[in-house]
Amino acid sequence: MFLPTTKAEMKKLGWNKLDVILVTGDTYIDSSYIGAAVIGKTLFNAGYKVGIIAQPNIDNAEDITRLGEPELFWGVTAGSIDSMVANYTALKKKRRNDDFTPGGENNRRPDRATIVYSNLIKRYFKGGKPIVLGGIEASLRRIAHYDYWSKKIRKSILFDAKADILLYGMGEKTVLELTKAIKNSESIKNIKGICYISKNGEDEIEKTDKYIILPSFESVKQDKIEFIKMFNLFYVNQDPKTAKGLIQKQDTRYLIHNPPQNYLTQSELDEIYNIEYERDVHPFYKKMGKTKALETIKFSITTHRGCYGECNFCAIAVHQGRTIRSRSEESILKEAKEIVGRKDFKGYINDVGGPTANMYQIECLKKENYGSCENKRCLYPKKCKTLTVSHKKQIELLKKLRSLENIKKVFVASGIRYDLILEDKKYGMEYLKEIVEHHVSGQMKIAPEHIEDNTLDKMGKPGKEYLKQFKDKFYELNEKTGKKQFLTYYFIAAHPGTTEKEMKKLKTFVSKELRMNPEQVQIFTPTPMTYSTLMYYTEMNPFTGEKLFVEKDMNKKRKQKDIVVQKGGRR
């Protein structure tokens, strides 16, 4: 079933009032890929009455008042993408299209949607029901952060939105604990995975030895060294097994950042994905036009969460986590069989994967037991010896999926770490052979991002020797299997530490070594809570303290991209 979006739907369910109302910047797609749907269905399965208001008109009361006022709280999210990223390009030009809006026109998601929706609720409801922020925008703006679009340090979004609670990360377990506490009028102060505002700061924490005092908002706003110190403390305190809570003074009050919620166990993760989803846009919104995002996620399957790659420009580490949590093979096959049974299924599963497809069922036992290493990464500069890489379980899973009746093709469209394939001496080539023969069509996408060591070091990415080896192995397998498939490459321009010199070297490399003219070149966008954004703002290498070149001129950023994209370079 769909969660109700109108009073008429509530009436059909026999509901007079809702316990929780979720307000989201995406249209309502009932899918395990959509955060508002997952949280809503998780609460519904726990016995709560939940409704959704998607992309409300912010100029009047019609949409936001449609379901009345909730009994327990409002949940607010900007949607699947930070609203500023959704609305603007890296060069700060307004985007015309939005894949999560019916009709595709980018006209329904306001800038800083989390703040706008919170204010909209406060404008029309004076009952004082708590406003709980969640989703990627809130999660990555939960402490003082650099905002690329306003070029300044902003407070936690909890302060700017004047909301009551912020729920960060993957929030199923947290939202159940929080909802129960609110329903029973219990204290929320010890719930993991939330932030809240306190007038007394550390005085309200029962065990202050479990909390770290971050540099204040005023100090990080004035001093870039203090900002780096704050970010480092924040980053190393995001693993549920090792993290302490954080306290940061912002104006005369304090942000209390509780330790992260414990990761879901495999059985708990299976339970989330075993929920019945409609895999479609709610009829109320479907009549408004086609939603492009549905094409990708309708018949796709998530196999796991998290990523231990820790690329410096990626925020997955502080949102989903640095530890892989995989679903059971049984749960994944069950979902695939449900997809096959749908009348509108045409035989193609669009994707089987996660943030990085080939991390399924691969994790360091030491990390699983004791938490992430504070001063060591799993894959950079080289793969850690403690991490045992084996693609065996994913190979077995893919074979079982494609053997299901009425399945014509199972695609692996999620990102693949080719260095992991090469590091797996026992099953890596067998995995690549499986992918080449059965799970790509025409082209395989990989993301080396760059080839120059100076830039790769700032990105936290492996060297070009992996890329050369992988390219040769890929085309060798294509030749042996009689396939005519190609690699396509994603690169980043204007990343901190990158000059036109590095881009010219990249151009030479792709022309001579890869024998192609790349089209997939993105200009770096500084998004909150990544090390690359920290470099962009401070113009320093946070790991060494050295001064760093950062291209901030918009025309020169575009020129860096043009050097690689244009045939023969920029004329």
Annotated binding site: 307, 311, 314
Distance, CA of 341 to CA of 339 (rounded, Å):
5
Q: How far is Cα 182 from Cα 159, in angstroms, rounded to an integer?
A: 21
Amino acid of residue 137 = E
d(CA 431, CA 433): 5
Phi, psi of 520 (to 5 degrees): -90, 75
- Phi then psi dihedrals of residue 202, to 5 deg: -65, -20
Alpha-carbon distances, residue 125 vs 61, 111, 112, 363 (angstroms): 10, 22, 20, 47
Whether 270 contacts 327, CB under 8 Å: yes
Residue with tokens 């320093």: 540
Per residue in 272-281, is it b (16+ CB within 10 Å) or e — as a string?
bbbbebbbbb
Residues present in the chain in total: 571
Q: Which residues are annotated as a binding site for [4Fe-4S] cluster?
A: 307, 311, 314
C-alpha to C-alpha distance for 112 and 87, rounded to whole angstroms: 10
Spatial distance between the Cα atoms of 85 and 527, rounded to a whole number of angstroms: 8
In angstroms, the CA 406 to CA 397 distance is 17
| Centroid of chain to Cα 98 | 17
Side chain identity at 296, as an amino acid letter? T
Strands 145-147, 304-305: pairing is unpaired
Nearest to 133 by CA among 232, 25, 217, 213: 25
